[in-house]
Amino acid sequence: MTIPLGWIIGMACALGGYALHGGHLSVLWQPTEVLTIVGAAIGYMVASNSMRILKMTMTALPTAFKGTDASKRLYLDLLCLLFEILNKIRRDGLMSMEADIEEPHSSALFEKYPSLNKNHHLIEFLTDYMRMMLGGALNVVQIESLMEQELEVHHESAHVPVGVVQKVADALPAFGIVAAVMGVVHTMGSIGLPPAELGKLIGAALVGTFLGILLAYSFVGPVATVMEQNAESEGKAFLCVKSVLLAHLNGFTPPAAVEFGRKILYADMRPSFKELDEETKNTKGK
C-alpha cells in the first residue's frame, strides 16, 4: 500500500511548493487538459497492445496496490513443504508421492500449507517436475534445462504488464506537450483578448506540460516499478523450488537440499538457518 502514500506525498509537495510561491491552486484544475492527456494515454495503450496483453495488464495492475504474497513466512512454508516431500521420498520412495502430486489440493501434505495452496502456478510448477521425476524419463541435466526454459518464459510473461505500464508512463510527458500545444493554438485564436485574459489562457495551456510530467513520474511510473519488484519477489519462489529439487536429484540429503533453496532468497526475506531448522524439526513431529 505504499503507492497511495507516495502519491499523497508527491502531490502535497508539488502543490504545496506551488502555493508557497503564491500560486493559485484553482488555476491547475484544467479538466480539458486532463481529458486530453489521460485519454491519449489510454488510447495509446489500447492501440499498441493486443487484447491478450491488455487483459494480462488489467489482471496484474491490482497486485501493485494490494502487494505481493511473497514474504518470509511464505518462503519458510515453502522450504518446510519441500523438506517434508523429500523426507517422504527418502523414507517411502518416490512412488509414495504419486497421490499427492496428482491431487495436491486434496493432499494432507499440501493442505498443511494453505498459503502455498493459493499459489496455483507455484504448486503446478512443483508438481509438474515431481511428476517428471516420478516418470523417470528425464535425467538431471534435461530437467534442469527444462526448468530454466520454463522460468525464462514465466519471467518474460510477468514482465509484459510492467512494460505496458512503463511505456504509458514514458509517453505521458509527450501527451502533456500535445495538450499544451492545443492550448497555445486556442490562445493564438484569441489573440485580441486583453493581456490578463491571454495570460490565463497561456497558463492553462502550460498546465498540460505540468500534468503530463507529474502523471508520468509521480503516478504511473511508480506503479510500473512496484509491479516489477513484485514479479521479481514472486519469481524467487520458483527458483527456490528449482534449486531444492535439483539438489535432491544430485544426491543431497533433505536438510542440505532445502539449504540450497534458502540461499537463493533475498536476505531480508530469507529465513535464518536456525528458524528453518526449528520449523523442519516441528514437521517431523507432526
- pLDDT tens for the chain, 286 residues long, are 688 889 899 888 888 888 887 777 887 888 888 899 999 999 999 999 999 999 999 999 988 888 777 788 889 999 999 999 999 999 888 888 888 888 888 888 888 888 887 888 899 999 999 988 888 778 899 999 999 999 999 999 999 999 999 999 999 999 999 988 888 887 777 777 787 777 777 877 888 888 999 999 999 999 999 999 988 888 899 999 999 999 999 999 999 999 999 999 988 889 988 888 888 877 654 5
In a domain, 121, yes or no: yes
* pLDDT value of position 246: 94
* pLDDT value of position 135: 81
In a domain, 21, yes or no: no
In a domain, 225, yes or no: yes
Whole-prediction pTM value? 0.83
- Cell, residue 97: 508421492
Distances, alpha carbon 223 to alpha carbons 124, 204, 218, in Å: 28, 28, 9
* pLDDT value of position 204: 79
In a domain, 6, yes or no: no
In a domain, 72, yes or no: yes
In a domain, 1, yes or no: no
Structural domains of the chain, count: 1
* pLDDT value of position 284: 59
Backbone region of residue 271 per phi and psi (left: phi > 0; alpha: psi in -120 to 50; beta: other values): beta
User: CB-based contacts of 82: which residues, under 8 Å, 6+ apart?
Assistant: 126, 240, 241, 244, 245, 257, 258, 261
Residue ranges of alpha helices (H) inside 107-139 are 108-111, 114-117, 120-135
Hey, is 83 helix, strand or coil? helix
In a domain, 191, yes or no: yes
In a domain, 24, yes or no: no
Residue 75's nearest CA partner among 211, 243, 240, 257 is 240
Where in the sequence is the domain holding 225, given as residue range(s)? 30-285
